[in-house]
Structure 1
């Protein structure tokens, strides 16, 4: 019953957000991909269901009794008949928190995959995805970590067009961006986008072609997030001046931004230069695509 699962960072290549409905929720359209960097979750037998944290961003979650990993375990267990062997879950938190990277949802997805293997291998993918969707807007997409077009509140998923593996750099200026706060500011600004999915080819042949197409799209939360955390604007301005950058954009509700680069070498050069110039920023070279292999 031991096991490990990878919880990749989620990146919104574009994020179009509409006006809230009568229920207060904003419809959206977003093309999601996943990075080959992220958190890792381990499972082992235990005397009782327990959850422990480690890693560079563990302190940001310490004392959080409503962690999504715990909620995922409780939701899965609540839908099963009869008791299950208690387990311990250990989360190595490598991603910054409140960063627009879907870390909590991806952690929950990793927990559900691991716990199904341990508790209910007969449970269908559809049933597992329904549990993930109930945990949050990114839950269903982050369960599998595969590129997808998300609509509705984020729960209506269709396969993404064919995508190249994209060399990229993730940059977080070290400030949190509350999703609720960003959406609140968006509502105050009153500037909403068209959420009809833009026409897409069946496949993008290169990262250059993808970046060119994405330049016609947007993240409708970007202005609201910069209003709350101006440091996000500093990141985007710096990236716009770098020669390796094909496209720079904020992911999700921020504060993490991503830069698409033509090659791994150029992504590495960009990451090294940013780390040297801005040691206070969290910078990670990565590849965007997915799904990525689980730990051995």
Structure 2
């Protein structure tokens, strides 16, 4: 069993979840990937990762849905740390990662990618590697499409597979209510396969960010943003999991300004007009029985960054 060395140095980093304000999907390519044009926003649901010098590589997962997260070398945060070690080189001691989860697993909010981004920042600091976030970007892109954005946070356009990041000029703060919904039958590959089925025989244009989305973000107006929330994967997600459509319909009836499936789902992201509006919406959803659970957060927030080590309790 991996053990952290006594008096081992440790660094903790925090990274946010994301919501896709706009997700355009192109036709599948020969390599099996779909070209994407997405507008990301980082939101204030965070994952914390502590990297500590250890006698062997390892990972411990605590918190929400911890039992669903692998703790072997398939863990995305551990893969990120090992790739960074290869890049830094030299006589580096292994690290043990302790992941504190708050973001729903497999919910379309990139909790695993947040773990990877936090691991990169924590290990870079632990090893005093002297790498900027721009220098971490190529490693992040190897690990996963969402990881480069979660290194930087804020609001940004993602292109390619989502890993090519361009910051967006955006004003204001936005208040979100997230409704985790059952994920049965809603794996990301299955959502993309269903998207292909739904678009078969149709011309699927090359995706690009819409001018309307860019204009809404420059205004900093929640109502304007609500009007342009779009996700090309949403019809596929609702076909596979009709409950998602029911949540969206109910939330709009309870006063949400806008509703969108986050990424490939199944989490539904609801935009409110204010913090008070988000609280009222959350209460209505749970009191009515539409949602067993809701999560509230605002955005945009900063990307992965070092924080003081958590207290041991």
Name the counterpart of 2:59: 51
Check conservation: 1:15, 1:28, Cα contact below 8 A.
Answer: yes
Kindly indicate whether the alpha-carbon contact (under 8 Å) linking 1:163 and 1:205 is maintained by their aligned counterparts in 2. yes
The 5 A counterparts of 1:97-112 are 97-112=105-120
In the superposition, the TM-score normalised over structure 2's length comes to: 0.87
3-state SS of 1:267 partner: helix
| Cα distance in structure 2, aligned partners of 1:149 and 1:133 | 15
**Match 1:252 to one of 242, 263, 268:** 263
CA distance in 2, matches of 1:272, 1:151: 36
1:185-204 alignment, distance < 5 Å = 185-190=194-199, 192=204, 194-199=206-211, 200-201=214-215, 203-204=218-219
Picking from 257, 267, 284, the partner of 2:278 is 267
On the 8 A contact 1:31/1:150 being kept in 2, the answer is yes
> Within 2, Cα distance between the matches of 1:269 and 1:193?
39
The offset of 1:43, in angstroms, is 2.4
Task: Quote how far apart the aligned CAs of 1:19 are.
Answer: 0.6
Contact 2:17 2:109 in 1 (8 A): yes
Partner SS for 1:253: coil
Structure 1, unaligned runs of 5 or more: none
Structure 2 residue 211 is matched with structure 1 residue 211: no
The alpha carbon displacement at 1:22 in A equals 2.2
The residue number in structure 1 matching 2:247 is: 235
Would the aligned equivalents of 1:163 and 1:289 in 2 still touch at CA under 8 Å? no
What whole-Å deviation, never above 9, does each CA across 1:153-189 have from its counterpart, x for those lacking one? Answer: 1122211121311011011113253111111111122
- Is 1:95 the counterpart of 2:103 in the alignment? yes
User: In structure 2, which of residues 208, 216, 232 is the aligned counterpart of residue 220 of structure 1?
Assistant: 232
Partner of 1:22: 30
How far is the alpha carbon of 1:197 from its aligned partner? 1.9
CA contact (8 A) 1:161 1:204 kept: no
Aligned-pair RMSD on alpha carbons?
Answer: 2.0
Q: Deviations over 1:254-276 (max 9, x none)?
A: 00111111110110111122233
Q: Does the CA contact (< 8 Å) of 2:51 and 2:122 recur in 1?
A: yes
For 1:33, the equivalent position in structure 2 comes to 41
Q: Gaps (5+ residues) in structure 2?
A: 1-8, 309-313
User: For residue 188 of structure 2, what is the aligned residue in structure 1?
Assistant: 179
